[in-house]
Amino acid sequence: MRIVDLIEKKREKEELTKDEIHFLLNEYLKGNVPDYQMSAFLMAVYFNDMTKSELFEFTSLMRDSGDVIKFEKINKFLVDKHSTGGVGDKVTVVLAPILAALGFGTAKLSGKGLGHTGGTIDKFEAIEGFRFSNTSDELVKIARKTGIGLMGYSDKIVPLDKKLYSLRDVTATVPSIPLIASSIMSKKLAIQSDVIILDVKVGDGAFMKDINHAKELAKRMIEIGVGAARKVKVVLSNMDEPLGYSIGNANEIIESIETLKGNGAKDVKEVVYTIAALALKAKGEIKELEEGYKKIDEVVNSGLALSKLKEFINESGGNGNLVNDYSILPAAKEKLEIFSKNNGYVAKIKTEEIGKAAMIIGAGRAKKEDKIDHSVGIKIFKKVGDKVEKGEKLAEIYYNDEKNVKNSKEMILDAYVLETKKIKEQKVVLEIIE
Ligand code: URA
């Protein structure tokens, strides 16, 4: 078998066999396929897609390139929730304690933020002393105790994804539905769970800019999951404005805690409640999602969910008292207020722009190696549909270093698109696919 023939086959839109896919990926993993050949193959996939069976084989092999984590002796229904990435996306921080309070276990790999999107690891690492499990033994120990099993990606889990993603990043092949689907699902299949719930973000701040592409991505991921005999549910959620009001790391932890105290933003709550209700339904505890909302309200209102977060922070090396004392979290030294230059209604918030405005003051990374400042961030005061008067506050920037603050301010002002007519409030959960 020759790699060049496999590239040619994909170029000519012919279906590769299981053996051919195995050969390509195994040889690549061993270092026997040069990056220029793999790049050509990825570009052929970008243009010509993969068939259902190609995609399943490709994803299964990616999973098998590393360890598979089993949560032995955890007698809980395990939920693996995954977001395709957004701005202000603090859903995991709120959801995992709620699921724990409802008797579930969360079992998931979390990522770091890159580009305009944030990552759960960075948010928790804003807590002094907090350390993510980096071995599966440690993960299982904490998950057994708290019901929350979050682990950072390691080189041992789906190493092939790391290699392929780096190559995609520099060959303009990231935004390919089959490549995104296999990248995400290989990591989902590498973790034992009872249900996989995918939060596919749609809109300006997301990978998938429109609902049709998002639906296609969801369909391909469900097909892979079903092929592997896994239960997969999808929530398509809006990323045409940041989720909630805070964008950053320490400030998103505070917003998450406030949500667990019942004071959260409507959109954050809606996404979290929908996913938690889907978990209850997958477990067979409820028939309709609405029945779940009452149960979720109970664990929030009783403070049980918040106590689960506190326990998880304590077990992970942080000081859980921060749930009632935000001064334990790092805070930026300076604040810049941004005021509207016009009257109107917020018609649109260019969400990617807001994510980048947070990134350039240090809340995120332009490149994987960049260091971030957990204390800095942005708070927005107006969401889509809100009325704004000239001179009214649109946002605040929290920063330590003057550099880029002016740019960040300009980007935020540019991101707010005002119109004279009132715009309907945005729907957050756009669709649920079960
Ligand atoms: N998230 C991933 O894990 N992989 C992709 O390719 C895109 C988003």
Tell me: the pLDDT tens digits for 258-278? 999 999 999 999 999 999 999
Rounded to whole angstroms, how far apart are CA atoms 175 and 194?
29
Q: 78-323: which CATH number, 3.40.50.2300, 3.40.50.300, 3.80.30.20, 3.40.1030.10?
A: 3.40.1030.10
Contact 278, 263 (CB under 8 A): no
**169, pLDDT greater than 90:** no
pLDDT of residue 152: 83
Q: How large is the greatest C-alpha to C-alpha distance in the chain, in angstroms? A: 68
Averaged pLDDT, 85-114: 93
Contact 18, 51 (CB under 8 A): no
Compute the distance from residue 182 Cα to the ligand 1 centre, in Å. Answer: 8
More confident residue, 423 or 242: 242
Averaged pLDDT, 83-92: 95
Mutate to test the pocket of ligand 1, among 42, 157, 174 (most ligand atoms within 8 A of CB): 174
* Residue pLDDT, tens place only, 111-148: 888 788 889 999 999 999 999 887 878 888 899 999 99
Handedness of CA 55, 57, 60, 66 (dihedral sign): negative
Averaged pLDDT, 385-405: 97
Q: Is the CB of 84 under 6 A from ligand 1?
A: yes
Q: What is the DSSP string of 207-251?
A: SB-SHHHHHHHHHHHHHHHHHTT--EEEEEEE-SS-SSSEEESHH
Fold of 332-419: Aldehyde Oxidoreductase; domain 3 (3.90.1170)
Q: What number does the ligand 1 atom closest to the CA of 168 have?
A: 6
pTM here is 0.94
82 is catalytic: yes
5 is catalytic: no
pLDDT of residue 190: 94
Q: What number does the ligand 1 atom closest to the CA of 179 have?
A: 6
Instruction: Identify which of 82, 107, 110 has the alpha carbon closest to the alpha carbon of residue 271.
Output: 82
| DSSP secondary structure code for residue 151 in this structure | E
**313, pLDDT greater than 90:** yes
Compute the distance from residue 201 Cα to the ligand 1 centre, in Å. Answer: 12
Active-site position among 168, 233, 281, 374: 168
* Residue pLDDT, tens place only, 213-259: 999 999 999 999 999 999 999 999 999 999 999 999 999 999 999 99
Instruction: Identify which of 76, 84, 13 has the alpha carbon closest to the alpha carbon of residue 49.
Output: 13
Contact 107, 154 (CB under 8 A): no
**109, pLDDT greater than 90:** no
Rounded to whole angstroms, how far apart are CA atoms 282 and 104?
11
Rounded to whole angstroms, how far apart are CA atoms 308 and 102?
10
Q: What number does the ligand 1 atom closest to the CA of 187 have?
A: 3
161 is catalytic: yes
Rounded to whole angstroms, how far apart are CA atoms 250 and 374?
6
State both tokens at 276. 């938690």
220 is catalytic: no
Averaged pLDDT, 165-178: 92
Compute the distance from residue 225 Cα to the ligand 1 centre, in Å. Answer: 16
Q: Is the CB of 180 under 6 A from ligand 1?
A: yes
Which stretches within 302-350 are classed as H helix? 304-315
Averaged pLDDT, 376-400: 97
Averaged pLDDT, 159-170: 91
Q: Is the CB of 183 under 6 A from ligand 1?
A: yes
Q: Where are the domains of the chain?
A: 3-48, 78-323, 332-419
Compute the distance from residue 428 Cα to the ligand 1 centre, in Å. Answer: 22
pLDDT of residue 98: 98
Question: Class for domain 3-48, per CATH?
Answer: mainly alpha
The gap between the terminal CA atoms of the chain, to the nearest Å, is 41
Averaged pLDDT, 413-425: 92
183 is catalytic: yes
